[in-house]
Amino acid sequence: MNPQETSLLATMAVRIIYSVIILAAGIWAGKILAHFVQSALERRKADPALAGFLGNLINVSLIAFAVIAALSQLGIETMSIVAILGAATLAVGLALKDSLGNFAAGVMILIFRQFKTGDIIEAAGVIGEVESLDLFSTQLRTADNKTVFVPNGKLVNDNIINYSMKGTRRLDLEINVSYDADLSKVRELLQEVLGEHQRILKEPEPTIGVLALAESNVRLAVRPWVENNDYWTVFFDLQEMIKCRFDEAGVKIPFPQREVHLHQEKPARPVKVVG
């Protein structure tokens, strides 16, 4: 083996060693940095899905950078590889634009935390409890125990109503009484009913007021405050309690009625035929 070949082999060996070192360093740095970022997010009580996603993204990005650097160290032209990867990424992105949109929306939800697992939300025409939040869709369980998978893109592009974020919720009832009813007595009965229910909060105080003077009744607004978990229990209880208390006190709850008046026309006089 002549000196030129020996020098070439030595140069290649050094490049291979450098390439292996660069690749190993990239893999090691990716794992360390990904673990650091994931731990930092978990300490800040970030969503586990977001922490895991960012950690994996950083790890994969550093490994890809290390592979390109190692190939470049070996003398392989990497610009063409980068161009091919870029073109392939663009083609895949155009083919999966809806999925990528849902992916981006999932990242936004995880970052801004409009809701979390266990919250009751209303969005995209669905009301339900959030069972899981993925990067592409959100799984909701409806009140009748149906599972609905809502694409994250629809959630981000629609209004999101979070019923669980504040902890308490106002219950809005409309009670109709006849115009003959004594409003002072009706208000007293309603206050008694609200005071008897143990799950109604004392603060803020319940509101009772005349909402409207309708065509055939006086419409009252009854608005107590309850804990989120007690909403439907109190809703159903109050309807029954108010009806029973009104019946005992003789307060009439009007219902639609229609008066029908019959007018009988006089029979026509018989016509005499003269023949």
Judge whether residue 12 has pLDDT over 80.
no
Q: Are 119 and 164 in contact (CB under 8 A)?
A: yes
Taking the C-alpha atoms of residue 260 and residue 12, their distance in angstroms, rounded to an integer, is: 106
Per-residue confidence (pLDDT) for residue 95, from 0 to 100: 47
Judge whether residue 275 has pLDDT over 60.
no
Same domain, 148 and 192: no
User: Domain boundary at 138, 162, 186, which?
Assistant: 162
Same domain, 176 and 128: no
Same domain, 221 and 239: yes
Specify if 103 maps to a domain. no
CA dihedral of residues 54, 55, 60, 63 (deg, nearest 10): 130
Each residue's pLDDT tens digit, 112-158:
778 888 889 998 889 999 888 777 788 899 989 999 999 888 888 88
Span 241-256, average pLDDT: 89
Amino acid identity, residue 2? Answer: N
Q: Read off the pLDDT band of 177 (50, 70, 90).
A: very high
Lowest mean pLDDT among 20-24, 192-196, 245-249: 20-24
Judge whether residue 96 has pLDDT over 50.
no
Q: Are 66 and 72 in contact (CB under 8 A)?
A: no
Same domain, 88 and 46: yes
Per-residue confidence (pLDDT) for residue 196, from 0 to 100: 92
Residue 181: exposed, middle, or buried by beta-carbon count in 10 A (0-12, 13-18, 19+)?
Answer: buried
List alpha helices for the chain, DSSP H: 3-43, 48-73, 78-95, 97-112, 152-156, 183-196, 231-249
Provide the residue range defining the domain that includes 147. Answer: 115-162
Phi (first) and psi of residue 244, to 5 degrees: -65, -40
Judge whether residue 264 has pLDDT over 60.
yes
> What's the pTM?
0.60
Phi (first) and psi of residue 174, to 5 degrees: -120, 120
Taking the C-alpha atoms of residue 74 and residue 9, their distance in angstroms, rounded to an integer, is: 12
**Among 178, 247, 241, 165, CA closest to 215:** 178
Taking the C-alpha atoms of residue 36 and residue 46, their distance in angstroms, rounded to an integer, is: 14
Span 157-167, average pLDDT: 88
Each residue's pLDDT tens digit, 37-88:
778 777 776 666 666 667 777 877 788 788 877 777 776 666 666 666 666 5
